[in-house]
Structure 1
Amino acid sequence: MLPEVHGWLRRRTSSAGDWPVRDLVAAKGETTVSVVLPARDERETVGEIVGVIRRELAPLVDELVVIDSRSTDDTARVAARAGARVHAQDEILPQLKPMDGKGEALWKSLAVTSGDVLVFADADIRNFRASFILGVLGPLLADPSVMYTKGCYDRPLHGTPNGGGRVTELVARPLINLHWPELAGFVQPLAGEYAGRRSALERVPFLTGYAVELGLLIDLLELAGLDGFAQVDLGSREHAPQCTEALGRMSSQIMLAAWSRLERQGRITAAAAPSLRLSQFRRGPEGHEVLVRDIGIGERPPMITVSA
């Protein structure tokens, strides 16, 4: 690890317990805060998450928005009943051709929120705690030089305290250490809990799908530098694990995100465009069947360049 990353870890890493709500309310001043939950078919958890935020963080959070990403269940109704303002992803900026996935939902949230600081959190978290929001918000309210805060945590899986995060350990972390070693201090580079200043988030593009988190880290590093980042230990985080096939598709999008940024930075020259389809295998009645999946990602431009 680079010496400057060791120094950053000492200066810029804290714990969620370091940021009690009363201190953040005092530090908030005139700063406005928007919390955004991107959600697709998360009726089992989204209501509880909205409820915790409304009950415990009312003095801190100015608006709480759920972006419903084409749910086929009643996620939108559950979130609205719990007290969130709900927007359908495809109804935001309808003049634009729709794109898919989480990155699209997060990018569009910039168009329907007004907070100076935006906090993003996944809507599938079990046993959600208000400290997930407080932790990533704390450094931004306490220090004007911080532009972006990323959460980190343990990820239990099948009784193993850190059994989760397979895409991080097998794909994202090796790519980061190889090509962007300044980012090697992030424990959970793909974490879904993070916060940033609108002034920074509106000036970078958003990759769609599961590529959004890696893309934001790389692009914001160019914009703000490593010392513009902070990291907060949120403890432990539980959510429903995905199957291996889904993790394979996620990994492919992470690799495409890295490819796009290496090409943009002039560090690789593409002889041919990468394949946007992934062949996977599943055993059927007559042997192994080939499943071909579209793993292509899109990119939205910096929101500041998009007219109302």
Structure 2
Amino acid sequence: MNFLPECVLILLTMLFFLGFGGKPKKYHNVSVIIPAFNEEKSIEHVINVVKSISSINQIIVVDDGSDDSTYDIVSHIPGVLLLHHKHNKGKGSAMNTGLKKVDNDVILFLDADLCEISKKQVEAIINPILNGDADITKTKFKRAAGRVTELTAKPLLQFFFPELGFDQPLSGQFATTKKFIDTIDLENDYGVDIGIILDAEAQGLKIVEVDIGSIVHDHSTLKELNLMANEVVRTIVDRAINYGRLTMVDDLGNSIRMEIMGLSLITFGIFGIFFIKFMNLIVSVAIIVIGLIISIYYIVRIIKMSIRVYRQSNLSSREMIVVFMKTHFPIIISIIILLFISASLLGSVSISSNQISIEPISKNMIIPTSSHSNQSVDIRGPYIISNALENEQNLIRLPTSALNTLQANYGDYIYINDERYQLEQSVNRENDLIRIPSDAREALDVEPDTTIRDSDLKSEFDGAYLVHNIDINDMSNETINNTTNVNLNTTNMSVGTYLTDDSTDEMVLTVYINNTEIGKTTASIEENATYSIYINGQIEDNLKINTTTNGSVFNMTYDNNTIVNVTMESTNSTSNVKFANDQSYVKFLNIHINDTSD
């Protein structure tokens, strides 16, 4: 993945934080504006707290048409400028009224219903501005976020203003400078708080969210919450329109869609070259070029728009990266997919003296359809041919998937050019490697580092004979009828097969001793060929088997008390592994029975 865009954004943001806007100015005196509507229970406490703070030398209370005793209480408190609305006009309107009487450069806005607010909490709000550490402060406190915040404000802010990362964006307690407030128009309702924050963000001011701990706040009624939600939504959408966020989000979304389309065209063109027969090289390359042009054009647009957003951000580098990843996640995934495809193609490159060859080799998904198969869905190949390990010139090591493709077991023997080799398991972490001794490789005409598809593996071993050893102890937990003297530990059978390019009807061979199955395997047959059955190395019968054979093909009593029965049945599938006939180098079927009475 290319992290250059993220690094550029982080660098620009850090430079911005380091002083593009200059450090805020220090101040000394504060004016506090307290909008109040029917707050007779708490207004006096709030006023007494702010009066105890030396830097606050002007207290303005705006009675917003209260019909309780709020106005009367405040009117008897000295040192307070009391303003009055005959009718309730809304929080923003009350704040506007108070602003007309402000004398100081720093303004603190406090709600009048904070019945337990403390001097320490108020000082925490104003000190960052007085010390020149912020242009505007807003509060967060230990209380579960409100329903309006979680259901309306946060989702909209995340969509239109993803660079904002405030825990409680709708907190009503904040402080700022008169210089800033004079440059904006305050909303007249509950949208005033978030409107101020968004205006400050648009101007690039330094906003600090101050944790003031726990506060006690009056709970609003459902009707009041509904009104608040409508006004907050309207304010956020209005600011999104005014600051071009609606257009930007639409442009960004469209650019992301076009970027993904460009990357998809590149991927489609690559697949067209290697896997789609009806697409010639010229068409495929043209699609790739068009995809590249679209991708480059729109990735540049996306980077420019992202930089414009993040330069205004007050997020940390980590938070900014998280936002970037969420916003551009579809593009990132598309690029990762394309990189994996490109890496696979690079791994398929071979260079000779006069040409460069790129031949992707895919894996093979095997889905068994035969009821006689014990295998599950499997992903096999491709395989890389390698040299045999030292002192293993009679062993061929291969992974389980390759063994299953050859329809063999570990311990089986394979005859290549009349030389016998034993099949053994790959060593650790060599799941795609087939180690073959040099003589066998020469006979098979295959070089080290050759890559072979799973579907081509049998063809590579064309003409090789397999002797499949089946031990009764590997078959089941059943026991043979104890009326015989058969030794279970040494009773086994071997079946000879060979590999061809010709795929014919497959059959399952099953061997029973005294009506108990001791082993079975599958392969196809050569029509009208002769197949010989051996018991303990001695030929017992020559069989003519064809694809219509179904049921018992051999039945005899061996050594007076051991009944041997061999059946052949169709599996309704095909195979290019054939049972060895009398013309083959190995035996078709050899059953070894060890009599304990010997």
**TM-score, normalized by the shorter chain, greater than 0.5:** yes
Q: Which residue of 1 aligns with 2:72?
A: 77
Q: Which residue of 2 aligns with 1:179?
A: 160
Q: Which residue of 2 aligns with 1:19?
A: none
Shift of 1:268: 3.8
The one-letter code sitting in structure 2 at the alignment partner of 1:197 is: T
Tell me the SS of whatever aligns to 1:38: strand
d(CA) in 2 for partners of 1:169, 1:29: 35
Tell me the SS of whatever aligns to 1:82: coil
Q: Which residue of 2 aligns with 1:49?
A: 46
| Distance change in 2, residues 1:37/1:3 (3 Å) | farther
Contact 1:89–1:108 (8 Å) recurs in 2: no
Q: Which residue of 1 aligns with 2:244?
A: 266
d(CA) in 2 for partners of 1:140, 1:89: 30
Tell me the SS of whatever aligns to 1:62: strand
Contact 2:38–2:67 (8 Å) recurs in 1: yes
Instruction: State whether structure 2 residue 84 is matched by structure 1 residue 88.
Output: yes
Q: Which residue of 1 aligns with 2:142?
A: 154
Equivalences for residues 206-221 of structure 1 within 5 A: 206-221=186-201
Equivalences for residues 245-260 of structure 1 within 5 A: 245-260=223-238
Contact 2:27–2:106 (8 Å) recurs in 1: no
d(CA) in 2 for partners of 1:112, 1:43: 23
d(CA) in 1 for partners of 2:27, 2:177: 14
Contact 1:148–1:230 (8 Å) recurs in 2: yes
d(CA) in 2 for partners of 1:116, 1:222: 21
| Distance change in 2, residues 1:140/1:30 (3 Å) | closer
Tell me the SS of whatever aligns to 2:111: coil
d(CA) in 2 for partners of 1:266, 1:197: 25
Shift of 1:125: 1.1
The one-letter code sitting in structure 2 at the alignment partner of 1:196 is: T
Shift of 1:89: 3.8
The one-letter code sitting in structure 1 at the alignment partner of 2:83 is: H
d(CA) in 2 for partners of 1:192, 1:47: 18
Instruction: Find 2:179's aligned residue among 189, 199, 217.
Output: 199
Structure 1: gaps (5+ residues): 12-27, 91-97, 156-161, 270-308
Shift of 1:146: 2.0
Contact 2:64–2:88 (8 Å) recurs in 1: no
Q: Which residue of 2 aligns with 1:31?
A: 28
Instruction: State whether structure 2 residue 204 is matched by structure 1 residue 224.
Output: yes
d(CA) in 2 for partners of 1:118, 1:239: 21
Shift of 1:266: 3.4
| Distance change in 2, residues 1:3/1:86 (3 Å) | farther
Shift of 1:29: 8.1
Contact 1:37–1:123 (8 Å) recurs in 2: yes
Tell me the SS of whatever aligns to 1:239: coil
Instruction: State whether structure 2 residue 122 is matched by structure 1 residue 133.
Output: yes
Shift of 1:32: 2.1
Contact 1:37–1:67 (8 Å) recurs in 2: yes
- Residue deviations 1:245-293, cap 9 Å, x none? 2211111111111121122223448xxxxxxxxxxxxxxxxxxxxxxxx
d(CA) in 1 for partners of 2:49, 2:134: 26
Instruction: State whether structure 2 residue 61 is matched by structure 1 residue 66.
Output: yes
Tell me the SS of whatever aligns to 2:76: helix
Instruction: Find 1:110's aligned residue among 99, 102, 124.
Output: 99
Q: Which residue of 2 aligns with 1:287?
A: none
d(CA) in 1 for partners of 2:73, 2:10: 48
Shift of 1:188: 1.4
Identity %: 28
| Distance change in 2, residues 1:231/1:3 (3 Å) | farther
| Distance change in 2, residues 1:3/1:166 (3 Å) | farther
d(CA) in 2 for partners of 1:234, 1:224: 24
Contact 1:34–1:63 (8 Å) recurs in 2: yes
d(CA) in 2 for partners of 1:153, 1:196: 19
Q: Which residue of 1 aligns with 2:595?
A: none
Shift of 1:121: 0.6
Number of residue pairs aligned between Structure 1 and Structure 2: 229
The one-letter code sitting in structure 2 at the alignment partner of 1:79 is: V
Shift of 1:34: 0.4
Q: Which residue of 2 aligns with 1:285?
A: none
Contact 2:202–2:243 (8 Å) recurs in 1: no
Instruction: Find 1:100's aligned residue among 86, 89, 101.
Output: 89
Whose radius of gyration is greater, 1 or 2? 2
The one-letter code sitting in structure 2 at the alignment partner of 1:85 is: L
- Say which structure, 1 or 2, has more relative contact order (CA 8 Å, 6+ apart): 1
- Residue deviations 1:15-57, cap 9 Å, x none? xxxxxxxxxxxxx986321011100111110011111222x21
Contact 1:103–1:210 (8 Å) recurs in 2: yes
Shift of 1:127: 1.2
Structure 2: gaps (5+ residues): 1-8, 19-24, 248-598
Tell me the SS of whatever aligns to 2:107: strand
d(CA) in 2 for partners of 1:179, 1:268: 7
Tell me the SS of whatever aligns to 2:237: helix
Shift of 1:150: 0.6
Shift of 1:124: 0.6
The one-letter code sitting in structure 1 at the alignment partner of 2:130 is: L
| Distance change in 2, residues 1:203/1:29 (3 Å) | closer
- Residue deviations 1:87-138, cap 9 Å, x none? 1146xxxxxxx99210111122111111110001100112121123201101
The one-letter code sitting in structure 2 at the alignment partner of 1:112 is: K
d(CA) in 1 for partners of 2:141, 2:146: 10
Contact 1:150–1:231 (8 Å) recurs in 2: yes
The one-letter code sitting in structure 2 at the alignment partner of 1:254 is: V
Contact 1:36–1:65 (8 Å) recurs in 2: yes
Instruction: Give me the TM-score of the superposition, normalised by structure 1.
Output: 0.68
| Distance change in 2, residues 1:262/1:44 (3 Å) | same
